[in-house]
């Protein structure tokens, strides 16, 4: 009997020993710096709005990050060129995805065609300058440094070469995600969005290659506030997508350099917000504040189909300076959640009835002409998305019983001069479009002569309309009529 007990005890000891050996790699480490690195891998880097593959349950590794700095000319908005300074050729720079305990070997390469030295400050780094002191690199050179990822979260990185504000304002910022051990919970869709403010010598919309304006930047008077480096980066064909029932996770950063973002998705409520990109989670959030050099992770489930508009809710930035994107959701409608319009009733309160909106006059923008009809259409689309989209919708379908359609519009196609006059002077009163009556107010639009010609040319050449071309001369003629 004693021999049997001894044998059983010995078996238990050996079992515990082998189990501990088998589970050695599964040990939980109190400090991230103690997590061992078991092998080397090349980091997957992605341009916005895409993100790399989630880390999942992978072990900590030696992660090789190779990032190239490129100074290149791009388009800030239609007809407006800008010399961007970039990490990886995009604004924001390439998305970096790591996990706690990774040992990151960072290779920062400054392309030989560049004109300036740069460096990188990663907010995920525990070390002097966030790596900036070790990464100052001249054109044609490469600097290498390493760091251990100790704290999970979503962090900004940016250039920290003097003048720091100018380097950031020219597009040198991005996001690095440090996932916790075991990874983040899985979702259906993930996207990378980063807001930035741009300061140009010319006014908003002034065409040509625009240099950076230091005084506007110091005064924080941004000409453009945009998502992912340019006006329209997340609209139309560039919109992000999902399907009804899917969970969407947005990694949202703010490069600044000057303005705080009030990030909001029109028609959605954030189920979860990782405040400032950290561990603390807030729930049922309408708008989340993201400071310059900060980030947030927002998650929500999409319940109904449609186009959901992403904005900085400092709302003139969205509709006048470019901080506007789209999430297009496909799937079956659920009228229990959102009915759509149920009926249209007549409302006649006491008083004078429908009132006209006050005119604020015309803002004179650039008069540099489009070089072709194709360019007019391109410029006009951008104006439409900034000025006309809310009432007339992305495909010109209008809002039933409220704002008339522009698509296949008999009213629009019947009289070009009338259409020009409405954009110039506004319109109040009842009209009939495609057999339906509308009685709403269109305010006078604050557009230049060239912009009116361009936006009407876009409308006439879209959605089954007549294909007419509107010129500045035609607009001037209507404008000068007594």
Q: What is the pLDDT of residue 250?
A: 98
| Residue 291: how many other CB atoms lie within 10 Å | 14
Query: 49: cis peptide before it, omega within 30°?
Result: yes
> Phi, psi at residue 234, to the nearest 5°?
-130, 30
Q: Delimit the CATH 1.10.760.10 region(s) of the chain.
A: 373-479
- Residue-wise pLDDT for 272-287, tens only, equals 999 999 999 999 999 9
pLDDT tens-digit map of 72-91: 999 999 889 999 999 999 99
Q: Give the mean pLDDT of 96-102.
A: 97
pLDDT at 382: 82
Nearest to 249 by CA among 173, 179, 316: 179
Report phi then psi at 388, rounded to 5. Answer: -105, -15
Look over the chain and give the mean of its residue pLDDT values, rounded to a whole number: 88
The two structure tokens encoding residue 169 = 């304002």
Q: How far is CA 324 from CA 284, 321, 390, in A?
A: 22, 9, 12
Percent of the chain with pLDDT over 90: 70
pTM over 0.75: yes
Side-chain half-sphere CA neighbours of 304 within 13 A: 15
Superfamily for domain range 32-181: Cupredoxins -  blue copper proteins (2.60.40.420)
Closest CA to 102 of 124, 133, 127: 124
Other C-beta atoms closer than 10 Å to the C-beta of 317 total 22
Summarize pLDDT for 404-447 with one digit per residue, the tens: 899 999 999 999 999 998 998 888 778 999 998 887 777 777 78
pLDDT confidence of residue 409:
93
Residue 401: per-residue pLDDT: 66
For residue 117, name the pLDDT band (cuts at 50, 70, 90): very high
| pLDDT above 60 for 357 | no
- Tens-digit pLDDT profile for residues 170-217: 999 999 999 999 999 999 999 999 999 999 999 998 999 999 999 999
pLDDT, tens digit (0-9, with 9 covering 90-100), for 318-343 = 988 999 999 999 999 999 999 887 76
Q: Which residues of 448-471 are buried (b: 16+ CB within 10 A; e: fewer)?
A: bbbbbbbbbbbbbbbeebeeeebb
Q: How confident is the model at residue 30 (pLDDT cuts 50, 70, 90)?
A: low
The percent of residues above 70 in pLDDT, for the chain, comes to 88
- Is residue 246 pLDDT above 90, yes or no? yes
Instruction: Give the CATH class of 373-479.
Output: mainly alpha
Residues 6 or more apart whose Cβ sits within 8 Å of residue 474: 416, 417, 420, 453
Average pLDDT over residues 3-30: 43
User: CATH 2.60.40.420: which residues of the chain?
Assistant: 32-181, 190-330
CA gap 238, 322 in Å, rounded: 14
Lowest mean pLDDT segment, chosen from 170-184, 188-202, 220-234, 468-482: 468-482
Q: Which CATH number fits domain 190-330: 1.10.630.10, 3.40.1160.10, 2.40.37.10, 2.60.40.420?
A: 2.60.40.420
Nearest to 52 by CA among 242, 179, 162: 179
pLDDT digits (tens, 9 = 90+) for 8-19: 444 444 444 333
Q: Annotate the chain with three-state secondary structure.
A: CHHHHHHHHHHHHHHHHHHHHHCHHHCCCCCHHHCCCCCEEECCCECCCCCCCCCCCCCCCEEEEEEEEEEEEEEEECCEEEEEEEECCECCCCEEEEECCCEEEEEEEECCCCCCCECCEECCCCCHHHHHHHHCECCCCEEEEEEECCCCEEEEEECCCCCHHHHHHCCCEEEEEEECCCCCCCCCEEEEEEEEEECECCCCCCCEEECECHHHHHHCCCCEEEECCCCCCCCHHHCEEEECCCEEEEEEEEEECCCCEEEEEECCCEEEEEHHHCCCEEEEECEEEECCCEEEEEEEECCCCEEEEEEECCCHHHHHHCCEEEEEEECCCCCCCCCCCCCCCCCCCCCCCCCCCCCCCCCCCCCCCCCCHHHHHHHHHHHHHHHCHHHHCCCCCCECCCECCCCCCHHHHHCHHHHHHHHHHCEEEEEEECCEEEEEEECCCCCCHHHHHHHHHHHHCCCCCCCCCCCHHHHHHHHCCC
């Amino acid at each position: 009997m004693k021999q049997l007990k001894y044998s059983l005890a010995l078996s238990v000891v050996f079992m515990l020993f082998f189990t501990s050996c088998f589970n050695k790699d599964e040990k939980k480490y109190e400090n991230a710096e103690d997590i061992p690195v078991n092998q080397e891998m090349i980091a997957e880097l992605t341009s916005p709005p895409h993100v790399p593959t989630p880390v999942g349950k992978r072990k900590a590794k030696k992660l090789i990050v190779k990032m190239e700095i490129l100074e290149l000319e791009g388009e800030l908005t239609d007809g407006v060129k800008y010399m961007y300074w970039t990490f990886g050729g995009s604004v924001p720079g390439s998305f970096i995805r790591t996990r706690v305990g990774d040992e990151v070997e960072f290779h920062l390469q400054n392309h030989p065609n560049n004109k300036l030295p740069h460096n990188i400050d990663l907010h995920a780094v525990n070390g002097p300058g966030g790596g900036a002191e070790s990464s100052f690199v001249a054109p044609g050179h490469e600097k290498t440094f390493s760091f251990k990822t100790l704290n999970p979260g979503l962090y900004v990185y940016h250039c920290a070469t003097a003048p720091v504000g100018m380097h950031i304002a020219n597009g040198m910022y991005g996001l690095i995600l440090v996932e916790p051990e075991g990874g983040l919970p899985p979702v259906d869709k993930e996207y990378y969005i980063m807001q930035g403010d741009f300061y140009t010598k010319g006014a908003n919309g002034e065409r040509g290659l625009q240099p950076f304006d230091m005084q506007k930047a110091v005064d924080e008077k941004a000409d453009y506030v945009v998502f992912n480096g340019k006006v329209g980066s997340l609209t139309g064909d560039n919109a992000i997508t999902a399907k009804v029932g899917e969970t969407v996770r947005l990694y949202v950063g703010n490069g600044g350099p000057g303005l705080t973002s009030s990030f909001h998705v029109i028609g959605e409520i954030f189920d979860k917000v990782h405040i400032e990109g950290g561990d603390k989670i807030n729930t049922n959030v309408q708008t989340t504040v993201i400071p310059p050099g900060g980030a947030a992770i927002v998650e929500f489930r999409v319940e109904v189909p449609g186009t959901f508009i992403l904005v900085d809710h400092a709302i003139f930035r969205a509709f006048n300076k470019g901080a506007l994107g789209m999430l297009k959701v496909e799937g079956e409608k659920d009228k229990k959640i959102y009915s759509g319009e149920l009926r249209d009733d007549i409302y006649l309160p006491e008083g004078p009835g429908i009132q006209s909106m006050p005119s604020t006059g015309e803002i004179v923008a650039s008069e540099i002409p489009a070089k072709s009809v194709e360019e007019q259409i391109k410029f006009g689309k951008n104006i439409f998305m900034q000025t006309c989209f809310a009432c007339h919708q992305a495909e010109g379908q209008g809002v039933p019983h409220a704002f008339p359609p522009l698509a296949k519009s008999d009213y629009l196609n019947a009289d070009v001069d009338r259409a020009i006059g409405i954009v110039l002077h506004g319109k109040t009163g009842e009209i009939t479009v495609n057999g339906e009556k509308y009685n709403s107010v269109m305010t006078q639009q604050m557009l230049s002569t060239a912009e009116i010609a361009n936006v009407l040319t876009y409308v006439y050449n879209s959605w089954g309309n007549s294909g007419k071309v509107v010129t500045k001369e035609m607009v001037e003629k209507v404008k000068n009529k007594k």
